Amino acid sequence: MINTMEQNKIIIVISEDFNIREVAVNYAAVLAQRIDAQIIFLLLMEYKLDSKDEPVLLKQKYKDIILKRVNGIIDNNIPVQVEVMLGDRRSEFYKFMASHRLFHTVVWGGDENAPINKTGRSASHWLARIKDELPCPLVIPKKKYKLR
């Protein structure tokens, strides 16, 4: 039987480029340590048709970059996974959520000034437009968190 509690213990850290904010990584790590969860770093990137690399190769290349970045920030035994999805970010995020089960928290790891808190017609960012549909809290960490 699948343990629902275990399924819940996944924290997603979303970013749109390789510059995942350190505060977001640390926040996720502290939370993961506290609740015994695993972290999935989800990189959502556009894919250009004229790209020289096949999507599969590009995903692997991006995964390696993210892992290097993350491992440079957290070096404890928290289980970490990296997923890369290429295409329209909002659609790719829907598909990601659709193909996984429940999550504990979604952490925004991208630009701190991205207009995610705006809602309604003024919401220009894809995540702002869908944040009310998320099945778990969305956190935009701003201050520093320290690992124990």
- Of 86 and 116, nearer to another protein (C-beta) is 86
Q: What are phi and psi of 44, to 5 degrees?
A: -110, 115
Task: Report the nearest approach of another protein to the CB of residue 16 (Å).
Answer: 15
Binding residues vs another protein (CB under 8 A): 46-49, 55, 86-88, 90-91, 94-95, 97-99, 130, 133, 135
CB of residue 140 vs another protein: minimum separation in angstroms? Answer: 20
Number of other CB atoms surrounding residue 110 within 10 Å = 21
Q: Which long-range contacts (CB under 8 A, 24 or more apart) does 68-74 make?
A: 69/18, 69/20, 70/20, 70/25, 70/41, 73/22, 73/25, 73/26, 73/29, 74/25, 74/26, 74/29, 74/147
Quote the least distance from Cβ 60 to another protein, whole Å: 17
Question: What phi, psi does 142 have (nearest 5°)?
Answer: -125, -25
Residue 76: phi and psi, rounded to 5, are: -100, -165
Encoding tokens for residue 43?
A: 């990189």
- Find the shortest distance in angstroms from Cβ 134 to another protein: 8
Query: Nearest approach, Cβ of 19 to another protein (angstroms)?
Result: 23
